[in-house]
Structure 1
Amino acid sequence: MDGNATILKWLGCFLIFGLSTEAAERQVFLNQNDEILHNILRSKNGSADPCVDFKHYFIGIYEYDEPIRQAEERISEENMSLKYHSLFEQLKNGTYQRGSVEDMVSKLYNTCQTAKERGNYLQIDDVRYLVELNKLLSTYNQETVIYYLLDRFEESQVWPNSNNCAELVRTDMFFGSLLLFEEHVLGEKKVKDYQSQVPQIFKAIIKSFKRRLERNRLNLPLSQISAFLKFLDGITINVGSMPSDKDHRSFVMDYYADLDLDDDDNLDTMRLKLSMLRTRRMLEKLDQPVSSSPFTLDISNDVDFNTINIPYTFLAEPLFMTRGHEVFKFNGIGNFLARQILAAFHNLDADYDCKDLTNFVKSLDDIDIFTHKTLLCVDEATQTIEDLNRLDLVILDLIHDAYFSKESGFDLSQPFYTDVPLKELFFLQYGQRFLHVFIMSDYNSGFNKILPTMPAFAETFNCSSSS
């Protein structure tokens, strides 16, 4: 009897533990969805008619506030910065094996803090850097060097130097910092959630692109449609900007294998060594076929040849809630993915032709926003502000189709925690996140008439043909 009682006691403990874990998961699910719903519904103006005045329906009395998307991005980046700072503070007093990721990152962080305390924080744009850089560049052919210098110029526009040591380390040792962020902050479960959820959304959006291209509404030559479809088949995503086919710690150790940060190096010297390392990795990348070395640049680019990189900043709360309803997750990252697919179109085409982009976009445009546009580009690949604003409406239609199509596999049932219809929630969240600037823009003349022509929008809000 005693043995049976013990077994029953242990079974009871496991049952209670399982129920408590399930209850905790459910509470997180409800909390995240409540937060999203609050942000959506607080701005909604129920007295406005979305078929006539979507501006006041979507953003109501908050039209002069900071756009929701910008606020979420700001909060997301602030939260990430705080988490990185806390991570580096925890690491700085530890003892690590020489040459380990923890050793290199903590050395750079501690050296930066020491330099700031002594007031001798320096930039690495001095003569030594130029001399050493010249020696390295002279070993490569000139065409490779030109591409490298152009990329470094672009990098300098994206990653300005900072007196914040956490941001400096996060920038100068991107992969090292990212690995420690995955291991110590996100954790294995959150990383797996990202790795499983985002690719599903990406695949659904690609299918939506393909369905429209295959309909060939412009009656383009089949060879051109085939080329467009082939382009879509070649696009991949990378969640977190780390290689998906390699162990992340092994990859990072290989990347920094020839980096030697000495204990007596000052900040200037360490940054010089890191800059030279990035130079070598970039030149190695430019000297190799694109497909053989897709993850060697120590900087987070949105589109890296045929790969769309999705930094964790874009997946941080409140931008992306891993326990939120699928429709909210889809909206959270779908616009970015669709835009990056379009951005990748001419990145992959050495003989870029604006006519190709125009045909590509117009083939996707089921609501005929660009029907009468001859070209969507001016000054090579640069689009006008008005075209960019209108493009968000085409993307809205694409994303809606991707989520609500019968074969999408996503949850189309009505959420039990709200009476607002699922499709209405979709349009509300998208409008508030991505159409705020467009709605308030001087370029929105006549746009009140565009959304009601979108069949899905008209159906959701019961818009009549005379709206």
Structure 2
Amino acid sequence: METRTCVCFLLLLGTLNLVASSDLNQRILKNTLHNVNTTVDPCTDFYQYIGGNKKKDQETSYTKEIGEIREKFNLRLVPIFEDLGQRKFIDELGVEEKLWRFYKSCERSINATGSERVYLKLVPPAKNFNWPQFYSSTREWSSAKFDFMTALGNLRNYAVNDIFFSVFYSNDFYDSTSSLVTFASPKTDEVFALPSESHLKELLIRQDFSHLRAVYLAKAIGRLDRELRQLHQYDDKNPTILTVAEMENEENGGLSWRKFLKAYLDTKIERDYQLQVFNIDYFKSLGPLLEKYDSEVIATYIMVRFVHFVTNTGYFPSGDNSHDCINVVGYQMQYATKLLYEDRYLGNGELQKYQSEINRLFQAIGTKILKKLEENHFQLNDSQILALQEKILAMDLNLNNMPTMTQRRRFVNDYYRDLELTGYEDYPEAQLKVLKCFARRMQKVSSSYEYFYILNLSLEEGYSSTMMLDLTNIIVIESPVLQEPYFVHNSHDIFKMSFLGVMIAKQLTSTILPTRIYYDAQGNIYDLFDNFANNEHYKDALKCVNKSQPEYLEWSITYISAVQLAYETYFDSDSIFDQTQPDFTSIPLKQLFIQNSAKLFIGDLEPNSDNDPEEKTLKVIFANTKAFSEAFQCPQSADGMNPIVKCKIFES
């Protein structure tokens, strides 16, 4: 009797699991089809068919700023912060308390009048020396005492970067077992745009500059910003290793790097201290450019950049302080937020289930790309093929850019150990403490288990669901994407492969294309592929894509490859995935794959520009895949969705 009861219970449990799984798949399917317009022929207008126009009309400016995935993630953070308000802490002396105190400071005073001045009072350009407007006259503010390199080094300790240059700790690109302070030209496309001249003038007047002085300085720093953006910048794959003394030579720009490093690292720097420098030509031009401007203009430019950074980092006002501060805190205390999110939504073995499923996709896609390498469409030599195979085989996955499961709480508590918040600070003071903690951790690279995790967290960059850490050969998957309707571990494989699978395929293919092919399996730069950009097969692909999408050549080639690679991984005869038509839909799986993967390219799943040519992007990517022509059986035409000649990357 007991045996029969046990069997019945197990059968009931299995039935309930099947029902729950069916309901989950129905919900994801509903989301996928929400904007699909079946009255439109996908062969003639795929953008209208997939609902790209509807999707764009539905999005708010807030969604555009932070991305749909991050917005849904923030909504899931709300009950976590509600619990923190009830003092439901796992560790009363741990990271929960610090997160809550920062959140309350934000909620209480993030919109306080005069906060810009508070930041400037709290962070002067140097010890015992203040910003120009805090003196009674320009004459009293001594330009001779102002050293902009010292000011930049001081601000870097509050995570401020990319003013005149970018600086960060990184692996030695020629020896990934050691690290160097690394300099590069600023990421002008990613840093906040300088306000208009009229807004600059208003900002300066708020900081107590006279009207006349504000007019002059607004024009001057606007001109300086334009000239900086026009300096010679290029994507330098191979950095130069130089000593501080060599960088201070006039031929390399003549800037006072020892002063910057002394303020940044708080230690005396010797002349033979080695630096890693990308785009040395930029620095050669930077020194002479800055010499054209007087000290007050340079100081004011730095000040404006600093104020803009601290008042905008993670802050996208929606009119609801409590909601906005969840995003602010989640952005500026990323590891603490990730840990609490995992505890609530990915506990009780859920995180391990996600890791197992993601790894299953990764292994399948990796196996397929290894076969592509064996087919040798790029006509590589044996050494090159072997090097790429070793790189793919050595590649690893990581969830949330954190150490392994057992170390996660210890890692996060250690990360914020030096952060001391009373809970009574106004937001500017609390934020500066958080930023200083972040910057300090970026400098501490002695602990091997945390080195790469700290190194690659950035406040300047927007949210991304996946990223490739070239120097460690690791693909990182962020937890916001591990939710409905994006990726759920027990959903149907078609949804998993057509969404996150395409993202993983994108990271894998990019490692063997010119964007990342120059790194070996250990993350070192090597010269085995120095001439790959001249590869005839690759040049033909560039030329083909250039005809329809010249703005995003390498990006388009990578995603064409990624969609096709994920599709073949799922549907080829050697696939490990079930291709049987599921009960929850009558839509052919190949069409469902295209419909779900198309979501990656319409709307704003991640922060995006209004200028992103979605319609053109969709056509370039899907028209050049066999996946689309097989799924929809479109007639061949010269410039339709099934062109007679497709752009070929991993096929001949």
Q: TM-score, normalised by structure 2?
A: 0.56
Q: Which one is further off, 386-395 or 136-145?
A: 136-145
Q: Give the Å deviation of 1:42.
A: 5.5
1:33 equivalent in structure 2:
25
- Aligned match of 2:100 in 98, 106, 113? 106
* 3-state SS of 1:296 partner: helix
For the 8 Å contact 1:241–1:310, the answer to whether it is kept is yes
1:241 equivalent in structure 2:
401
* 3-state SS of 2:398 partner: strand
Distance in structure 2 (CA, Å) of the matches to 1:32 and 1:69: 24
Distance in structure 2 (CA, Å) of the matches to 1:145 and 1:130: 26
| One-letter amino acid of the structure 1 residue matched with residue 267 of structure 2 | T
1:169 equivalent in structure 2:
329
Q: Give the direction of change, closer, same or farther, for the CA distance of 1:236–1:459 in structure 2 (3 Å limit).
A: same
Q: Give the Å deviation of 1:249.
A: 0.9
For the 8 Å contact 1:193–1:322, the answer to whether it is kept is yes
Distance in structure 2 (CA, Å) of the matches to 1:279 and 1:24: 49
Q: Give the Å deviation of 1:36.
A: 3.0
1:84 equivalent in structure 2:
77
For the 8 Å contact 2:542–2:557, the answer to whether it is kept is no
Q: Give the direction of change, closer, same or farther, for the CA distance of 1:444–1:420 in structure 2 (3 Å limit).
A: closer
2:140 equivalent in structure 1:
none
Distance in structure 2 (CA, Å) of the matches to 1:129 and 1:401: 57
| One-letter amino acid of the structure 2 residue matched with residue 303 of structure 1 | M
1:366 equivalent in structure 2:
none
1:160 equivalent in structure 2:
313
Distance in structure 2 (CA, Å) of the matches to 1:338 and 1:221: 24
Listed one character per residue, the Cα deviations across residues 241-297 of structure 1 (whole Å, up to 9, x for unaligned) are 222264211221222233333355443333333222222221233x788x9722124
2:414 equivalent in structure 1:
254
Listed one character per residue, the Cα deviations across residues 44-93 of structure 1 (whole Å, up to 9, x for unaligned) are 5667665x53x34x742835212699899944322211222331122024
Q: Give the direction of change, closer, same or farther, for the CA distance of 1:197–1:282 in structure 2 (3 Å limit).
A: same
1:303 equivalent in structure 2:
468
Distance in structure 2 (CA, Å) of the matches to 1:85 and 1:143: 46
| One-letter amino acid of the structure 2 residue matched with residue 113 of structure 1 | E
Question: Mapping of 1:382-401 within 5 angstroms?
Answer: 384-401=551-568
For the 8 Å contact 1:69–1:432, the answer to whether it is kept is no
Q: Aligned residues: percent identity?
A: 23
2:593 equivalent in structure 1:
426
Q: Give the direction of change, closer, same or farther, for the CA distance of 1:59–1:433 in structure 2 (3 Å limit).
A: farther
Question: Mapping of 1:48-447 within 5 angstroms?
Answer: 52-53=43-44, 55-56=45-46, 59-60=48-49, 62-66=51-55, 74-94=67-87, 99-116=93-110, 124=119, 128=123, 131=126, 133=157, 135-139=263-267, 160-162=313-315, 164-244=324-404, 246-285=406-445, 293-297=451-455, 298-299=457-458, 302-304=467-469, 305=471, 306-341=473-508, 342=510, 344-345=516-517, 348=523, 350=525, 355-356=531-532, 359=535, 362=537, 371=540, 373=542, 384-431=551-598, 433-434=600-601, 440-441=615-616
| One-letter amino acid of the structure 2 residue matched with residue 34 of structure 1 | Q
Taking only aligned residues, the RMSD between alpha carbons, in angstroms, comes to 4.3
Distance in structure 2 (CA, Å) of the matches to 1:402 and 1:257: 45
For the 8 Å contact 2:370–2:389, the answer to whether it is kept is yes
For the 8 Å contact 1:392–1:435, the answer to whether it is kept is no
Q: Give the direction of change, closer, same or farther, for the CA distance of 1:112–1:19 in structure 2 (3 Å limit).
A: farther
Q: Give the direction of change, closer, same or farther, for the CA distance of 1:397–1:435 in structure 2 (3 Å limit).
A: farther
Q: Give the direction of change, closer, same or farther, for the CA distance of 1:270–1:431 in structure 2 (3 Å limit).
A: closer
Runs of 5+ unmatched residues, structure 1: 364-369, 378-382
For the 8 Å contact 1:389–1:438, the answer to whether it is kept is no
For the 8 Å contact 1:357–1:376, the answer to whether it is kept is no
Q: Which one is further off, 400-409 or 37-46?
A: 37-46
| Greater Rg over alpha carbons, structure | 2
Distance in structure 2 (CA, Å) of the matches to 1:68 and 1:355: 45
| One-letter amino acid of the structure 1 residue matched with residue 342 of structure 2 | E
Q: Give the direction of change, closer, same or farther, for the CA distance of 1:205–1:121 in structure 2 (3 Å limit).
A: farther
* 3-state SS of 1:396 partner: helix
Listed one character per residue, the Cα deviations across residues 288-341 of structure 1 (whole Å, up to 9, x for unaligned) are 88x972212454772333222211122222222333210111111122222223
Q: TM-score, normalised by structure 1?
A: 0.75
Distance in structure 2 (CA, Å) of the matches to 1:88 and 1:120: 27
Listed one character per residue, the Cα deviations across residues 207-246 of structure 1 (whole Å, up to 9, x for unaligned) are 2221111111232221222222233233322122222264
* 3-state SS of 2:87 partner: coil
More helix by share: 1
Listed one character per residue, the Cα deviations across residues 146-182 of structure 1 (whole Å, up to 9, x for unaligned) are 89xx9xx9xx69x824262212221222111111111
Q: Give the direction of change, closer, same or farther, for the CA distance of 1:226–1:358 in structure 2 (3 Å limit).
A: farther
For the 8 Å contact 1:68–1:432, the answer to whether it is kept is no
Runs of 5+ unmatched residues, structure 2: 127-153, 158-261, 283-304, 318-323, 604-611, 643-652
Distance in structure 1 (CA, Å) of the matches to 2:72 and 2:403: 24
* 3-state SS of 2:29 partner: helix
For the 8 Å contact 1:129–1:272, the answer to whether it is kept is no
For the 8 Å contact 2:401–2:477, the answer to whether it is kept is yes
Q: Give the direction of change, closer, same or farther, for the CA distance of 1:114–1:42 in structure 2 (3 Å limit).
A: closer
Distance in structure 2 (CA, Å) of the matches to 1:68 and 1:323: 32
Q: Give the Å deviation of 1:443.
A: 9.7
2:187 equivalent in structure 1:
none
Q: Give the direction of change, closer, same or farther, for the CA distance of 1:119–1:393 in structure 2 (3 Å limit).
A: same
Q: Which one is further off, 122-131 or 269-278?
A: 122-131
